[in-house]
Amino acid sequence: MDLRTLLDHLARAGLLREVEEELDPRFQVAQALLDAGEHPTRFRRVAGSPFPVVGGLCARRETIALGLGVPPEGLTQALARALREPAPPPRVASAPFHEVVVEAPDLTTLPILTHFPSDPGPYVTAGVMVLRDPGSGAQNLSFHRLLRLDGRRFAARLVEGRGAHLAWSRAQGDLPVAICLGAPMQVLVAAAMSPPPGVDELTLAQA
């Protein structure tokens, strides 16, 4: 289920908190998310950005199950089945994200949150990194905290010995990656799983 559809379902069920007050992405939104607990929350107005912020979508099993289209009591079985029976995703010639292409992106327009005074800057905490290992050819999805350095660059922490780090070490230079924000729930869950080496997490999302 894509993000917009999930938010619509939550809103119709009265399970989505809507914050209309403008909040600062530096500390204020993070504090409001902490105060909201496990409730999915959408912040309509974030200072300095034209985009809203959504948080708390993976805080409760019920919300994750809704996003996957399974009953909460069947969530564990659904994840186990995906690991047993991965399925290749379909290939398409065009996709909705092709409809908007920004030739000179400015990362400072994104409402990226600063959570703590000790943080060196704003972090993306739920972006899915997609890359292809230049050695094995295997595609990999994973989460990494991304520190915004300026309008064009992020710094990512790669855990030594894991998929993204191994791919980067084999690249012997620049490694093309894509960062997906607002991914469907099945992609978020798949990126958080740890399948055997060489298994493309997108095949788990498709299962």
Q: For the whole model, what pTM was predicted?
A: 0.92
- Classify residue 172 as left (phi > 0), alpha (psi -120 to 50) or beta: left
What domain range is 147 assigned to? Answer: 3-88+106-206
Query: Quick one: pLDDT at residue 198?
Result: 84
Q: 159-201, pLDDT tens digit by residue? A: 998 889 999 999 988 999 999 999 999 999 999 998 988 899 9
In a domain, 174, yes or no: yes
Domain count for the chain: 1
- Tell how far CA 66 is from the center of its chain: 17
In a domain, 99, yes or no: no
In a domain, 59, yes or no: yes
Residues 6+ apart with CB under 8 A from 130: 139, 140, 141, 177, 178, 179, 180
CB contact at 8 A, 50 and 109: yes
Q: 103-122, pLDDT tens digit by residue? A: 999 999 999 999 999 999 99
In a domain, 93, yes or no: no
